[in-house]
Amino acid sequence: MATRIAFLGIGLMGDPMVRRLLAAGHAVTVWNRTTAKAQALAAAGAEVALDLATAVRGAGLVISMLEAGPVVGAVLQDALPALAPHALWVDMSSTRQSEAQAFHALLTAHGQRFIDAPVSGGVGGAAAGTLAIMAGGTEADFAEVAPVLQAMGRPTLVGPAGSGQVAKLCNQLIVGATINIVAEALLLAQAAGADPAAMRAAIRGGFAESKILDVHGQRMLERNFVAGGQVKTQLKDQQNILAAASAAGLQLPFTELVTQRYQTLVESVPQADHAAALLGLEALNPGQRLGTAPDRLA
C-alpha cells in the first residue's frame, strides 16, 4: 500500500507498532500529545509532527492508538478539518462498540472511511509483530489496509464497523477472567502444600494450557508486576464488556465478578501489570503469599 501513514499515539504499544511499520518500509509520520515520546522514533526513521493537523494532512491512512474512546473522539474531531478526502482512519485503540460505530458514522458523513482494529498480544506482541488484530469495517477497506496491518500482526475482518471492538472485548473477557483463575490456582497449590511452579509445569500441555498460564503465570511466580498491560486498562475493558452485554440484553455474572476484582485492585496498583490480580487475591487471604521474591512494580 503506497501511501503515507499518520500514526497518532506513541505509548507503550504505539512505539513498537510504529517501529514494525518502519521496518516494513512504510513512511510514517508520528504525533503524540507529549511530543518527546514521538521524538524518540525519529532515529528509527519516523517523521515527527509537532501538531495534529500537520500529522494527518495529506495522509491516506491514519492509525490511532490512544487511551480510550473519549480520547479517540476528541482527537478525531480535532483532526477532521485536515483529513484528506477519502482518507481511511484505522483506530487500533480499545473503545466501546458504540463509540466505534459513532466514529464510523462521523467519518462517513464527511467522506472519509473508518475501521476499528483493536489488538491483543501486549507490548511483547507489538515488538515482535505478532499482534492479533480484530477488524470491523467493509471488505474493500480491509483488503486495502491489510498489507499494512500485517507488518504489526495477524489481521482478521470480523464484521462491520464496531465488530472489531466486540471481538476485542470477547478477548479481554477471557483474558481478565483467566488471569484471576491462574492466580487462584497458583496460590491454592502453595497453600495446600504443593510446589506452585511444579504444578504449573505439570499441567502445561493439558486442557488448562494457555498463553495466560504461560506468560502471566510466570510473572506471578516471579512477582513481576511491571506493566505490560495495566490494571486500569483491564478495568476499562471490563466495564466496556459489561456495557456491550447490556446493549445486547445479556447478563454476564462471571464477568461482573471479575470486574469487581479489578475495581478493587485499581484502587491500590492502577499502573501495575494485569498479573497483579495475584496481589488482590493475596489481600483476600491474609498470611498467604506466593513465593518469596520481592514484588516488582516498576
pLDDT at res. 164: 97
pLDDT at res. 84: 93
Q: Residue 31 to residues 2, 28, 48, 62, 112: CA-CA distances in angstroms?
A: 20, 10, 6, 11, 20
pLDDT at res. 1: 42
Provide DSSP, the chain.
Answer: --S-EEEE--STTHHHHHHHHHHTT--EEEE-SSHHHHHTTGGGTPEEPSSHHHHHTT-SEEEE--SSHHHHHHHHHHHGGGPPTT-EEEE-S---HHHHHHHHHHHHHTT-EEEE--EESHHHHHHHT-EEEEEES-HHHHHHHHHHHTTTEEEEEEESTTHHHHHHHHHHHHHHHHHHHHHHHHHHHHHTTS-HHHHHHHHTTSTT--HHHHHHHHHHHHTB---SSBHHHHHHHHHHHHHHHHHTT---HHHHHHHHHHHHHHTT-TTSBGGGHHHHHHHHSTT--SSSPPPB--
Q: Which of 168, 211, 232, 236 is catalytic?
A: 168
- Looking at domain 5-159, its CATH architecture is 3-Layer(aba) Sandwich (3.40)
Q: What is the pTM of this model?
A: 0.84
- CATH 1.10.1040.10 residue ranges in the chain? 166-284
pLDDT at res. 289: 97
pLDDT in tens, 126-146: 999 999 999 999 999 999 999
The residue type found at 253 is P
Has 37 been annotated as catalytic? no
pLDDT at res. 242: 94
User: What's the rounded Cα separation, in Å, for the pair 289 and 191?
Assistant: 9
| pLDDT tens sequence for the chain (298 residues) | 457 899 999 998 999 999 999 999 999 999 999 888 999 999 999 999 999 999 999 999 999 999 889 999 999 999 999 999 999 999 999 898 999 999 999 999 999 999 999 998 888 899 999 999 999 999 999 999 999 999 999 999 999 999 999 999 999 999 999 999 999 999 999 999 999 999 999 999 999 999 999 999 999 999 999 987 889 989 988 998 999 999 999 999 999 999 999 999 999 999 999 999 999 999 999 999 999 999 999 8
The CATH number of 166-284 is which of 3.30.70.980, 1.10.1040.10, 3.20.20.70, 1.10.3720.10? 1.10.1040.10
- CATH 3.40.50.720 residue ranges in the chain? 5-159
